[in-house]
Structure 1
Amino acid sequence: MPKITFIDAAGTAHAVEAEVGSTVMEGAIKNGVPGIEAECGGACACATCHVYVDEAWLERTGEPVAMEQDMLDFAFDVRSNSRLSCQIKVTDELDGLVVNIPEQQG
């Protein structure tokens, strides 16, 4: 299973394994990663799974689609590498992915 590293706002790394076909958010929730609230359960209806994708991984995670962009308007401190982790599908190519969790969720 691909490994994903979540770095929380305090700088603590939380490395988890996520199933291929799931989402980055699901990997965080199943492994108890703090800071990912996921209030809508992955329906892209809130901004409580907001992450910053490490610059080295931007191409592999892709661009947010229009619906995700709209939801990011509700997130705090949106940056050019902001994504909703519920919208990033886990693939073998994402093994080693690093994302940062903002101090505050939407």
Structure 2
Amino acid sequence: MDIKITIIDRQGIPHKIDAPTDMNMNVMELVRSYELAPDGTIGICGGMAMCASCQCYVLSNHELPEKSDDEDAMLAEAFHVKENSRLGCQLHIKPEMEGLQIELAPES
């Protein structure tokens, strides 16, 4: 089953995309598969929460899983961090994320 997610790219352009909930994909992989960020600028560590290249801002009011210690530590060192910052690689696509709105953080 697909859900609709809006991702605002680094140029400020919103993209309403279909996100599969049955493939265990995360937001970073979604951004990559839809090519919403240039190659080599997102998911540099491969989704291990070891870089902040997939940092995004959660704009909608969704209940999301708590940040892991790794995600918290990585965001503590990242640039452009806001209160609503998350690492896209740590947000796995689930049905309850229907209508999620996120914005990609600027490249550091």
TM-score of the two chains, using structure 2 as the length reference: 0.84
Identity across the alignment (%):
34
- SS of the equivalent of 1:51 reads strand
* 1:25 shift after superposition: 1.0
Residues 24-73 of structure 1, C-alpha deviations (whole Å, 9 max, x = no match): 1111111111266110111111110000011412xx22321111001112
Q: Which runs of 4+ in 1 moved over 4 A?
A: none
- Flag structure 1 segments of 5+ consecutive residues without an equivalent: none
Contact persistence 1:17–1:27 (CA under 8 A): no
How far apart, CA to CA, are the structure 1 residues paired with 2:102 and 2:27?
Answer: 9
Report the equivalent of 2:20. Answer: 19
Q: RMSD between aligned alpha carbons?
A: 1.6
> Which residue type is aligned with residue 7 of structure 1?
I
Aligned partner of 1:50 among 38, 51, 55: 55
TM-score of the two chains, using structure 1 as the length reference: 0.86
* 1:4 shift after superposition: 1.5
- Flag structure 2 segments of 5+ consecutive residues without an equivalent: none
